[in-house]
Amino acid sequence: MNLSPRLIQARRGASRRTGAFTLVEVLIVVAIIGVAGAIVVPQMLQIGTMQIQAASRMIIADIIYAQGEACAQGATRRVVFDVANNAYTLTDGSGAALQSSWRMGNTTNTNYTVSFNQDSRFRGCTLTTATFNGSATLEFDALGAPTDGGTVDITAAGQKFRVTVSSFTGRVSVAPVTGG
């Protein structure tokens, strides 16, 4: 039988596997997704988890912003925590609130204030303590160094997170607080 090179090549190509997945590979992927879902979904369903994590991230971002603003402007910047009103404000060295029309879409109130009572993203979150060497004010000098380190505690739905600012470097970190 005399086969042309094209016919031989066509027969060889027909016996090759196509680029599909086997049933075993698909089942392994489905099992991995199932296990990951069983671990992640219950944590996402805990009431307050997303809000307290968002609130912690917002506090960290605003502390870092105040530090950067102090460096950029070469002037004192403060983060003044008002635990009684569940809010904080970024201010300059004289205590005047920083302006931030860019934060909330150019509204009439442009003071850089975050109120956990008024912002629906942080519903149920409460500032419980803010302590920076006996004060509720975190201050950065003109070089962006904090005058004192300290902590801010925030709670929601039985969870508590602590934002810590290092006294010398101004490094900001957050960790859940267990047992109280």
Over residues 153-179, mean pLDDT: 90
Going by pLDDT thresholds of 50, 70 and 90, the confidence category of residue 104 is low
pLDDT of 129 reads 94
Q: What is the pLDDT of residue 105?
A: 52
Mean pLDDT, the chain, as a whole number? 84
Q: Please give the model's pTM, rounded to 2 decimal places.
A: 0.72
- What is the arithmetic mean of pLDDT over 139-156? 93
Q: Per-residue confidence at 99, pLDDT binned at 50, 70, 90?
A: confident
Query: Is the per-residue pLDDT at 102 higher than 90?
Result: no
Q: Which residue has the higher pLDDT, 158 or 78?
A: 78
Mean pLDDT over 129-143 rounds to: 94
Q: How confident is the model at residue 21 (pLDDT cuts 50, 70, 90)?
A: confident
Write down the pLDDT at residue 71.
93
SS (H, E, C) the chain: CCCCHHHHHHHHHHHCCCCCCCHHHHHHHHHHHHHHHHHHHHHHHCCCHHHHHHHHHHHHHHHHHHHHHHHHHCCCEEEEEEHHHCEEEEEECCCCECECCCCCCCCCCCECEEECCCCHHHCCCEEEEEEECCECEEEECCCCCECCCEEEEEEECCEEEEEEECCCCCCEEEEECCCC
What is the pLDDT confidence band of residue 103, given thresholds at 50, 70 and 90?
low
Mean pLDDT, range 82-106, rounded to an integer: 83
Amino acid 109: pLDDT: 60
What is the pLDDT at residue 13?
Answer: 55
Domains and CATH numbers, the chain: 49-176 (3.55.40.10)
